[in-house]
Amino acid sequence: MASVTLKSVEKTWGSVTVLNDLDLDIADKEFLVLLGPSGCGKSTTMRIIAGLEKVTKGKVLMDDRDVTDMHPRDRNVAMVFQNYALYPHMKVSENIGYPLKVAKVRKEEKKAKVAEAAEKVGLTPYLNRYPRDLSGGQRQRVALARALVRDPDIFLLDEPLSNLDAKLRVAMRAEIKRLQRNLGVTMIYVTHDQIEAMTLADRIVLLHDGEIQQIGVPDDIYDDPENLFVAGFIGSPPMNFIEGEVVESRFTAEGVSASCPYRGKSITLGFRAEDVEITPNGSFTGKVFEVEPTGEATYVVIELGSTRVMIRAEKKFRPDVGQEVTFGVQEEQILFFDTTSGKRLRREVSK
C-alpha cells in the first residue's frame, strides 16, 4: 500500500484561494477522513491526491516519491464517487470488471478478480443484474468492488454515502470500516457529516476555508477542540457558546457566573449538552424556551438572557416553558475561547 504526503500545497482559481499552504501526512493503511462544510477544500484535496487537479504550489508525495505532475492512471489510486458512476447498460460483473477490460487483462484472470472483489462486498448473487435492478446500497457496493478489483495502493471515497437513506448509511459505514480493516489499505474519505467522520476515522482532518483547523483522533477532536470552529462543528447538538467577560477570576454573562482562570475582556465559554447537571447550586440559571423529548433523553433549550443553550437531561424531565432552571457543568468540562480570534485558551503548563 502507500503513504501520502502533501507539502505546502496551494490551489487557487484566479483570485480565489481554495487551499492555503496545506501540510498533511497520511500513514500507510490509515483511514483518514477529510471533514468540513461545503466549499472548505476537502474534495479539492482529494482530487489533488488523485491527480485530477493540479496544484498551484507545493508537492504531492506517495511513499516519498514525488507524484505532483504524474498522470492519474500512473498513481494506482481508485476513487469511489457520490453518484456511483455505474454504466447502466452493463451488468454488475461488467461494471466491476471494466477497469480490467481497459487494462486488457486476460479473460480468465479478469473473471477471477471480479468474483473475488464481488465476494468481498457481498455481491456474488447479483453479478448478472443491471444497476437499475439494485438498491442504493447495492450500487454503492458495486462502486466499491470496481475500485477493489484494480488492487490500488490508495482508496479515495468522495461523499460515497450521501445519496443513501439514514438507516442504510449506518449499515454501509460498518461495511466500509470492515472492508478497510480487512484489506489493510490506505483509505481517504471525504464527508461533511461529522457522525461519519467520528465513526469511521483513525484520524480526522477538519478543514475550513481551505485551511486545516485541527488534526487528531475522533475523541481528541471532540473533547479537546483547538478553536471555536472545531468546537461548534463537531458534536450533535453542537457545543453551547456564551460570550462574556472575566472579572476577578469569574466569567460573567447574563445568567452565568463561573470560575475562570483566564484574563480578558472578551471571552467565550463553551460546554456540551451532555455535560450538564441540573442542580440548585449550579453556575447557570435561565428560563426554559423549548422541551424536546427524544425517547432516550430530553433536550431542553434554555434562554440565558439573549443567549440560548441546549442541555441534555434524563428522559422523564419535563419542565414547563418559561420555568426557571439552574444547572451546573464540571469545571474541567468547561472550555474557554478568545472571542476575537476564536482560539482556545489553555492553562500554561509549568516546567
What's the CA angle centered on 209, arms 203 and 214, to 5 degrees?
Answer: 25
Domain assignment of residue 323, given as a range: 237-338
| Three-class secondary structure of residue 201 per DSSP | coil
Q: How far is 11 from 180, CA to CA, in rounded Å?
A: 29
- Same-domain check for residues 35 and 123: yes
Residue 108 CB-density burial (10 A; 0-12 exposed, 13-18 middle, 19+ buried) = exposed
Pairing state of beta strands 65-66 and 57-62? antiparallel
- Same-domain check for residues 275 and 166: no
- Same-domain check for residues 309 and 170: no
- Same-domain check for residues 26 and 79: yes
- Same-domain check for residues 194 and 93: yes
Q: Facing residues of 32 across strands?
A: 188, 203
- Same-domain check for residues 190 and 293: no
**What is the domain-level CATH number for residue 330?**
2.40.50.140
Show which of 191, 226, 261 is a domain's final residue. 226
Q: How many domains does the chain have?
A: 2
**pLDDT of the chain, 351 residues: tens digit per residue:** 589 999 999 999 999 999 999 999 999 999 999 999 999 999 999 999 999 999 999 999 999 999 999 999 889 899 888 777 889 999 999 999 998 988 888 999 999 999 999 988 889 999 999 999 998 888 888 988 998 888 888 999 998 888 788 888 888 888 889 888 888 889 999 999 999 999 999 999 999 999 999 999 999 999 999 999 999 999 989 999 999 999 888 999 999 999 999 987 789 999 999 999 999 999 999 999 999 999 999 999 999 999 999 999 999 999 999 999 999 999 999 999 999 999 999 876 444
**What is the domain-level CATH number for residue 10?**
3.40.50.300
Q: Is residue 232 a part of any domain in this protein? A: no
Q: Is residue 252 a part of any domain in this protein? A: yes
